[in-house]
Structure formats: structure tokens, C-alpha cells
């Protein structure tokens, strides 16, 4: 199932959310070549992606993993490695990867930004992304496999949405064999179901760390980011913006009733 939209109008233009989306796609096109060149894509993932073993210093220097035809990503100790937990949030591994992340960020991010403010939203987003990166490194600190994607930070936004708007209905696209159907479902059910899937996918990896066990997806980054969002959102929520939002939405309903 895929989220298409929510029944939760915003009262301000989500400038910060749009900024993150534009930055993601700009990096995808300008730095990663929009995935059109396999060598450039693999090189960007290797050199700018976050490698747990490089962050922890536990992966042997010179060891590596294949990242493409006749290409290997080799462990090094360059200074840029310290910045990769942030840089990797704006990198992706393919069109489906970035489009999926962009959809989730747009559906859930604009309303969270609406009640925390633009500057706070960017700080919250980055902090959740760093928490997701930390969770991924803690689960497998020796891993030589580079990780890219905004999903850890977006998971934090989803956790915040669960706290702020649990009863709002999200329009989910379901596939029934050859039939497509959009069904509105409460956000708490959608988000807890998604979180449960991450936990179930991640448990085997805890018992025996291996990228094959999680399908190559950093599920514990998703878990870490989501929990960070749940725990941190009340610190970032702006009560003034929340009250203004309620007042504006209430006045809109009253206007609609008179129209």
C-alpha cells in the first residue's frame, strides 16, 4: 500500500519541506547523474554514502564490497567520512528510491512543518536523520556497505505525524491483484503497521547481521529515525503555530458552512 495524500490541510506553504525535496532531486541529478551512468552512481554512493565501518573505525582499511561491474567500494579513513551521515541523507540509489522517499516526505512532512515552523522543521529533520544513522551503525558497526537515502529522516517525520495527528485519515492506494483502490485509513493504523513491518524485518538482522536478511534496506535506521521523531516532536512543536493552525482551520470550516 502507498500513501497518496491525507485529509489534513495545511495553513502555510511548506517551504522547508519543498526545500528538502528540491535539494534531494538536485543532488540526484547534479551529483549522481540521475542514475543514468552506473559508474557515476556507484561512485557517488561509495564516496559520499555512510559506511558504518568507516564511522566506527571497526572495518579494516582496504577491505571492500562490490558496488557494480568491476567496481568495489574500499574502506578508507578520509575526513569526509565524518560528514557522510548528513550527506547520505540527500543521496539515493535509484529512481524508485528517491520517488518513494519524496512521496512519503510530501504526504507527512508538510503538516509537521505546519506546527513546528520552517527552521525547526529542518533541524528536526536532520536530527532524526542522524539518529537513524546512529541506529544503523550501532546494529552493525563493522559493516563495509555504504548506505544512502532520506528514509531515516523521513521515518522521524512519520513518527512525529503519529504523535501530532493520529486520527487524521491517510488515503492509501491498495493493489488487489489487477484492481487499484484508494482507501482512507487512520494515520495511527498506517504508521504503526509500517513501524511493525520495520521491526519484524529488522529482528533477523539483530540475530545475525547481514544485508540479505533485510533485503539490503537499512530497517534499523527506519526504526531509529521513527522513535527519534516520536520522542523529539514535543520539544520542537510550536504551541503558537499549533493554535494559529487550529483557529485558521476552524474559521475555514465556518466559512464553508455559510457558503
Domain residue extents for the chain? 2-205+218-258
Res. 258: pLDDT tops 70: no
Res. 245: pLDDT tops 50: yes
pLDDT of residue 175: 82
Res. 138: pLDDT tops 80: yes
Cβ atoms of 107 and 170 closer than 8 Å: yes
Q: How far is CA 98 from CA 161, 174, 199, 248, in A?
A: 21, 21, 22, 33
Tell me the per-residue pLDDT of 76-122, one tens digit each, with 9 for 90 and over: 999 999 999 999 999 999 999 999 999 999 999 999 999 999 999 99
Sign of the CA dihedral with 245 first, then 247, 253, and 258 last = negative
- d(C-alpha 119, C-alpha 122), whole Å: 5
Question: Considering the entire predicted model, what is its pTM?
Answer: 0.91
CATH code of the region 2-205+218-258: 1.20.1540.10
Helix axes 151-164, 187-207, angle to 10 degrees: 140
Amino acid at each position: 500500500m502507498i500513501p497518496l495524500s491525507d485529509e489534513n490541510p495545511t495553513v502555510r506553504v511548506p517551504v522547508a519541506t519543498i526545500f528538502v525535496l528540491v535539494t534531494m532531486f538536485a543532488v540526484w541529478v547534479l551529483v549522481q547523474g540521475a542514475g543514468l551512468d552506473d559508474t557515476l552512481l556507484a561512485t557517488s554512493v561509495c564516496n559520499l554514502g555512510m559506511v558504518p565501518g568507516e564511522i566506527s573505525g571497526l572495518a579494516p582499511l582496504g577491505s571492500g564490497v562490490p558496488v557494480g561491474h568491476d567496481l568495489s567500494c574500499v574502506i578508507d579513513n578520509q575526513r569526509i567520512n565524518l560528514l557522510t551521515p548528513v550527506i547520505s541523507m540527500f543521496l539515493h540509489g535509484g529512481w524508485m528510491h528517491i520517488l518513494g522517499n519524496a512521496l512519503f516526505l510530501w504526504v507527512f512532512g508538510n503538516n509537521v512543518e505546519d506546527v513546528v515552523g520552517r527552521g525547526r522543521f529542518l533541524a528536526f529533520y536532520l536530527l532524526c536523520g542522524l539518529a537513524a544513522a546512529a541506529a544503523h551503525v550501532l546494529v552493525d558497526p563493522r559493516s563495509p556497505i555504504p548506505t544512502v537515502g532520506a528514509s531515516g529522516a523521513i521515518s522521524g517525520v512519520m513518527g512525529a505525524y503519529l504523535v501530532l495527528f493520529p486520527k487524521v485519515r491517510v488515503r492509501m492506494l491498495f493493489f488487489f491483484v489487477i484492481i487499484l483502490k484508494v482507501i482512507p485509513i487512520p494515520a495511527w493504523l498506517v504508521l504503526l503497521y509500517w513501524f511493525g513491518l520495520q521491526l519484524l524485518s529488522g529482528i533477523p538482522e539483530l540475530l545475525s547481521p547481514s544485508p540479505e536478511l533485510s533485503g539490503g534496506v537499512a530497517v534499523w535506521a527506519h526504526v531509529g529515525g521513527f522513535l527519534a521523531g516520536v520522542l523529539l516532536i514535543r520539544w520542537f512543536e510550536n504551541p503558537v503555530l499549533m493554535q494559529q493552525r487550529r483557529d485558521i482551520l476552524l474559521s475555514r470550516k465556518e466559512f464553508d458552512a455559510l457558503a
